[in-house]
């Protein structure tokens, strides 16, 4: 089963969509057509400046994002939040103004500072050569956190929160309590049929975090996932069910004494096969990650 490139950053066109007055989600222009698209971003316009969520995969996409901001406001970009260390969420940092404060979990900053070259090579392998990743210059946080902070943007407040492990040790969400909007990063990949990418394993911890996120929101919350169109709280259940189902089936294969390779043959979980990334993520990423964790 060959790896499938999730998107081509050299061909992506990002467009802003109003989620609430002064709050824009920024999505690939094919977001309504595909179940997995280029990384989502967003921005919040306050009285004194702008808060941006994610900087995308390369300088070209970051410039598109800044262009969408400038269509809406000339206020300075005061803050930029990276929800994880993954290159498609933070590799555009170097394009932003030097006076912009970059906010990350302390784990994320440490990972970027120590592993940038290795991670850039991984992203080139994943997304393809000649797609702007080679041009990326490392730039990590000016401000780090381990739990959460609240930013006062004048006319509104934004909460930057770490509620637990979902895909990485440093997952952050950006919550706008008054507007009832959450930017979740790769804590949530996309609405169904997409399911979590368990790149760092730890499935039981991820489920606990999903439950925490579900319980802190309500049925009217607009959730911007890492990729794909906006979601609602009920969509979180799909991610929980996928992981719980996968853990249960792998525990069963271990009870039968099956090897990892046999588990990859046996655990089809056809209910989830409608996802365009199913073959790669389910078989090559998630089954090995959960098998190794459970065993």
CATH number at residue 169: 3.60.15.10
Helices H / strands E in the chain, number of each:
8, 12
pLDDT attached to residue 4: 63
| Tens-place pLDDT, residues 179-206 | 999 999 999 999 999 999 999 999 999 9
- Quick check: is 1 in a domain? no
pLDDT at 78 over 50: yes
In angstroms, the CA 279 to CA 27 distance is 25
In angstroms, the CA 63 to CA 73 distance is 15
Q: Which residues contact 180 (CB under 8 A, 6 or more apart)?
A: 218, 220, 221, 222
Structural domain including 90 reads 14-235
Q: How confident is the model at residue 3 (pLDDT cuts 50, 70, 90)?
A: low
- By percentage, how much of the chain surpasses pLDDT 90? 95
Among 18-22, 105-109, 124-128, 252-256, the least confident range? 124-128
Q: What is the mean pLDDT of the chain?
A: 96
The torsion of the CA quartet 172, 81, 147, 84, rounded to 10 degrees, works out to 40
Q: How confident is the model at residue 227 (pLDDT cuts 50, 70, 90)?
A: very high
- Quick check: is 99 in a domain? yes
- Quick check: is 55 in a domain? yes
- Quick check: is 251 in a domain? no
* DSSP per position, 107-155: HHHHHHHHHHHHHHHHHHHHH-TTSSGGG------SEEESSEEEEE-SS
pLDDT attached to residue 2: 43
Q: Look up tokens 């930017």; give the residue.
A: 183
- Quick check: is 131 in a domain? yes
Among 64-68, 125-129, 163-167, the least confident range? 125-129
- Quick check: is 221 in a domain? yes
- Quick check: is 288 in a domain? no
Instruction: Spell 190-223 as b/e; 16+ CB within 10 A means b.
Output: bbbbbbbbbeebbbeebbbbbeebbeebeeebbb
Enter the pTM of the model: 0.96
Average pLDDT on 148-170 reads: 96
Output the furthest CA–CA distance in the chain (Å, rounded): 62
Task: Give backbone dihedrals phi and psi of 211, rounded to 5 degrees, phi first.
Answer: -65, -40
The more confident residue out of 263 and 3 is 263
For the chain, the domain total comes to 1
- Quick check: is 282 in a domain? no
| Tens-place pLDDT, residues 32-41 | 999 999 999 9
Confirm if 154 and 46 have CB atoms less than 8 A apart. Answer: yes
Q: How confident is the model at residue 1 (pLDDT cuts 50, 70, 90)?
A: very low
Which two three-digit tokens encode residue 66? 């800044």
pLDDT attached to residue 6: 86
């Amino acid at each position: 089963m060959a790896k499938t490139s999730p998107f081509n950053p050299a061909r992506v066109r990002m467009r802003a969509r109003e989620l609430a007055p002064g709050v824009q989600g920024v999505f690939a222009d094919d977001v309504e057509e595909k179940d997995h698209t280029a990384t989502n971003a967003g921005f919040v316009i306050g009285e004194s400046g702008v808060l941006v969520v994610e900087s995308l995969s390369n300088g070209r996409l970051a410039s598109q994002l800044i262009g969408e901001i400038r269509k809406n406001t000339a206020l300075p970009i005061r803050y930029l939040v990276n929800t994880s260390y993954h290159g498609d969420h933070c590799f555009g940092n170097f394009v932003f103004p030097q006076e912009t404060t970059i906010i990350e979990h302390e784990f994320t900053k440490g990972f970027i500072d120590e592993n940038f070259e290795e991670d850039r090579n991984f992203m080139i392998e994943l997304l393809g050569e000649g797609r702007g990743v080679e041009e990326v210059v490392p730039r990590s946080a000016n401000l780090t956190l381990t739990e959460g902070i609240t930013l006062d943007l004048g006319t509104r407040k934004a909460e930057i929160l770490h509620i637990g492990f979902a895909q990485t040790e440093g997952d952050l969400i950006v919550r706008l309590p008054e507007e009832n909007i959450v930017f979740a990063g790769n804590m949530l990949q996309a609405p169904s049929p997409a399911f979590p990418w368990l790149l760092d394993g730890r499935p039981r911890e991820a489920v606990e975090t999903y439950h925490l996120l579900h319980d802190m929101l309500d049925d009217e919350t607009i959730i911007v996932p890492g990729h794909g169109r906006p979601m609602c709280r009920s969509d979180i259940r799909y991610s929980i069910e996928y992981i719980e189902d996968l853990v249960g089936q792998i525990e069963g294969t271990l009870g039968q004494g099956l090897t990892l390779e046999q588990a990859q043959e046996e655990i089809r979980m056809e209910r989830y096969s409608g996802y365009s990334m199913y073959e790669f993520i389910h078989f090559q990423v998630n089954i090995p990650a959960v098998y190794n964790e459970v065993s």
